[in-house]
Amino acid sequence: MAVRGAATEGAVVRGRVLVVDDDLALAEMLGIVLRNEGLEVAHCADGSEALAIFRESRPDLVLLDVMLPGLDGMEVCRRIRGESGVPIVMLTARTDTVDVVVGLESGADDYVVKPFKPQELIARVRARLRRGDEPAPERLTIGDLEIDVAGHSVRRDGVALSLTPLEFDLLVALARKPWQVFTRELLLEQVWGYRHAGDTRLVNVHVQRLRSKIEHDPERPEIVVTVRGVGYKAGPA
């Protein structure tokens, strides 16, 4: 079998991926595909062991099945998010609105619906891992926040706010072009790495989460402002 080079698509992305899935065939297949891309893969088949293996393997990204024996995917997601901002991509067989939204609200950055094509999965994984590729030193301000892009930190009056990498990327994307209104589709492309139409609920849920961390009053946002009928933009500095 011809091994597909990791260099075939974009920059080389290295990292360790933890696959949490009880379906052994799928987990093994995921392992093959991810290793082909040059990633390291750890595996866990039981929700209740997932957290221990997560701590032990310290992955750069978690692929998490929603339906798991022991502890369900949402709960595992919540617990991992409780101690780390590591990117989490959910694997779900159900596309029903409720499932997706609950998954996102429990802290997942993105989700992939089964059955997916390997390229699709790889694209998402890459998009979530690519960040951290030695960004140039850059300082941005949005509202009363100061962003140190290279240092991955957001401060208000010198106090650091804790954002997940995805929330950080979202904020940076808005802050870099404060004059531009971003449609949800554009944000999906820039932050999540979707090349085709994706689920705009992803954007909605993560904007809500971001606001709850950075806004003074999340009900009346001033930093990430909604432009009705279009999308979002950075609020006036």
Partner 1 sequence: MAARAVARGLAERAGSALRGGSRRLRHLWRASLAFRVVVVTMLLGLLVLSAVGTYLYGSIAQGLVDGRQKIAADDSLVLARDAQRQFDATDKTESVATLTQMATDLAKGYTQNARSERRYVVITRADSNSRPFVIPPVETSSVGLRYIPATLRQAVSTAPGRQHLQVATVTENGDEVSAVIVGQPIEIPVAGTYGIYFIYPMQREREIISLIGQTFLLGGAALIVLIGIIAFVVTRLVADPVRRAARVAERFADGHLGERMRAKGEDDLARLGNSFNAMATSIQQQIAQLENLSRVQQRFVSDVSHELRTPLTTIRMAGELIHDARSSFDPAVARSAELLRGELDRFESLLSDLLEISRFDAGAASLEVEATDLGACVDRVVASLAPLAERRGSTIAVREPPGLVVAEMDSRRIERILRNLVSNAIEHGDGRPIEVSLGSNDSAVAVTVRDHGVGLRPGEAALVFTRFWRADPARARTTGGTGLGLAISLEDARLHAGRLEAWGAPGEGSCFRLTLPRHAEGAIVSSPLPLNPLGAARSDHRLGPASPPRTSPPDPPPGGRAATVGSATAPAAAADRQP
Q: Which stretches of the chain bind partner 1, using CB under 8 A?
A: 1-2, 4, 23, 25-26, 29-30, 32-33, 36, 91, 93-97, 114-119
Q: Closest approach of Cβ 177 to partner 1, in Å?
A: 25
Q: Closest approach of Cβ 35 to partner 1, in Å?
A: 11
The rounded distance, in Å, linking the Cα atoms of 40 and 108 is: 21
- Identify which of residues 121 and 149 has a Cβ nearer to partner 1 in the complex: 121
- Identify which of residues 115 and 137 has a Cβ nearer to partner 1 in the complex: 115
The rounded distance, in Å, linking the Cα atoms of 203 and 109 is: 10
- Identify which of residues 66 and 154 has a Cβ nearer to partner 1 in the complex: 66
The rounded distance, in Å, linking the Cα atoms of 37 and 46 is: 25
Phi-psi region of 38 (alpha: psi -120 to 50; beta: other; left: phi over 0): left
Q: Closest approach of Cβ 100 to partner 1, in Å?
A: 13
- Identify which of residues 3 and 159 has a Cβ nearer to partner 1 in the complex: 3
Q: Closest approach of Cβ 166 to partner 1, in Å?
A: 24
- Distance from first CA to last CA of the chain, Å, rounded? 55
As a 3-state breakdown, the chain gives helix, strand, coil percent values, each rounded to 5, of 40, 20, 40
Q: Which contiguous run of DSSP H or E holds residue 163?
A: none
- Identify which of residues 26 and 173 has a Cβ nearer to partner 1 in the complex: 26
Q: Closest approach of Cβ 184 to partner 1, in Å?
A: 12
Which strands, in side-by-side order, build the sheet including 224-227?
182-183, 231-234, 224-227
Give, as one character, the DSSP assignment of residue 191.
I
